[in-house]
Structure 1
Amino acid sequence: MKHYSILLLILLATACSVKRTGEKTGEVVGEFIKGASSGVQNSFKVEVELTPELRQRGLELGKIIIANDTMGVDNLVSVYCIFNQDFDDTVMLKAFDNQKLETGRSKKIIKAKKDDAGFYDFAFDRRANLDAEDCRLVLQ
């Protein structure tokens, strides 16, 4: 029985359950375990904003996934980008906490043709704390 408990804790530490709200809102609602020993689940909301400049250039957001690294830290963001125009530029995803303080940045070079779409991964410093309440992400 002890082995099953340890296996369950390992699975819980590495799992990331994400639910999407809205078709094109760029918001993610997920669940995470707070204190593996207590087994209490809490929800967190991550808001993603797309700058007007990127919207004008034909970029649209689809699903957003917050994932964890091999140590179980939620510091990876996968953004599904839809291109309504040709795109060739570097974009930056910035993370802010609930006090509007910047907590991290991640850059990605993106080259895509009109009507292309796909996931683009942004890795943040492990201290960015992307699973905190009211975390906000801005793609610019």
Structure 2
Amino acid sequence: MKKTLILLSALTLMVSCMSKEEKMKEAEADGNEAIAVKSKLIEGAGKALQEQGKAAAKSASKGVGDVIKGINSGMSESISQSDVIPEASFKANFEECKAEKIYASNDDKVKKVTIYLIAKNDFKGDLILKAFNADKKEIGRSRLKADIKKDDAQYVDFTFDERTHLLQTEYFTIK
């Protein structure tokens, strides 16, 4: 009886179990269905990208471009531009100004600072530009003669000794 029961159980299992081929076909069908669903998702995403992607890419590109411009601008300003603190005599004759440091090649050994002057009054005389480091210590100075009429404007170049470390300049004073 025991043997019959075991045989019947084995026979039932064999009949109820799918063959390897049947399992493969079912797996293939399930895989095809899963791929079809994913394909539809990808197709939908593709259509959305076609419609919205151009605007998104343009916006992202503009953002990246603005960041790069900002970095370049910040680098240029931090290296070449400095504040100029005007003394009372300068304020009486000129508008506020900024200084642009210019570094020539090592062969030229020219170091100069260009300032754009806007005259409030007629001015004829000497201007003195002093360079200061972060410790508020003077590290260089330059003097030039200026002759400018009221409401005129011009660039002036203050030439510094080649040993002046303009990269270390934190600010300038002018009088």
Q: What secondary structure does 2:134 align onto?
A: coil
Q: Can you list the C-alpha shifts for 1:92-114, whole angstroms capped at 9, x where unaligned?
A: 00111111111111001001111
State the match for 2:77 in structure 1.
29
Structure 2 unmatched ranges of 5 or more: 1-71
Structure 1 unmatched ranges of 5 or more: 1-17, 21-27, 32-43
1:66–1:74 contact (8 Å) kept in structure 2: no
Q: Cα RMSD (Å) of the superposition?
A: 2.6
Label 1:65 to 1:45 Cα distance change in 2 as closer, same or farther (>3 A).
closer
Matches within 5 A, 1:29-48: 29-31=77-79, 46-48=82-84
Is 2:167 the counterpart of 1:131?
Answer: yes
CA distance in 1, matches of 2:81, 2:98: 14
The alpha carbon displacement at 1:127 in A equals 2.1
Q: What secondary structure does 2:95 align onto?
A: strand
Q: What secondary structure does 1:103 align onto?
A: strand
The alpha carbon displacement at 1:74 in A equals 7.8
2:139–2:164 contact (8 Å) kept in structure 1: yes
- 2:136 is matched by which residue type in structure 1? K
Choose between structure 1 and 2: higher strand proportion.
1
The alpha carbon displacement at 1:45 in A equals 6.0
Q: Report 1 or 2 for greater relative contact order, CA contacts < 8 Å, sequence distance ≥ 6.
A: 1
Choose between structure 1 and 2: higher helix proportion.
2
Q: How does the TM-score come out when normalised to structure 2?
A: 0.51
CA distance in 2, matches of 1:118, 1:62: 12
- 1:98 is matched by which residue type in structure 2? A
What is the aligned-residue identity percentage? 27
State the match for 1:110 in structure 2.
146
Q: How does the TM-score come out when normalised to structure 1?
A: 0.62
Q: Can you list the C-alpha shifts for 1:44-72, whole angstroms capped at 9, x where unaligned?
A: 7622111122112x211445321112318
CA distance in 2, matches of 1:29, 1:106: 22
